[in-house]
């Protein structure tokens, strides 16, 4: 799995294979399929994710 954390006034962090954690955080362990959680406000398209992922360096 891969994860991007984009902050409004700060860096964009990314985590995935080979870079699971750093001094700022790490790859989340929470299931996004949990019916008790509403993640809908964080949904983005695959294209948007890939665009940010490809433009961010480790």
Q: Is the pTM here over 0.85, yes or no?
A: no
The ranges assigned to domains in the chain are 1-15+40-58
pLDDT value, residue 42: 87
5-27 burial, b at 16+ Cβ within 10 Å, e below that, comes to: eeeeeeeebbbeeeeeeeeeeee
Percent of the chain with pLDDT over 70: 97
Band of residue 58 on the pLDDT scale cut at 50, 70, 90: low
Band of residue 48 on the pLDDT scale cut at 50, 70, 90: very high
pLDDT value, residue 56: 79
């Amino acid at each position: 799995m891969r994860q991007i954390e984009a902050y409004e006034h700060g860096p964009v962090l990314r985590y995935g294979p080979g870079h699971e954690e750093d001094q700022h955080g790490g790859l989340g362990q929470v299931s996004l399929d949990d019916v008790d959680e509403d993640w809908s406000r964080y949904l983005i398209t695959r294209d948007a994710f890939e665009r940010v992922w490809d433009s961010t360096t480790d």
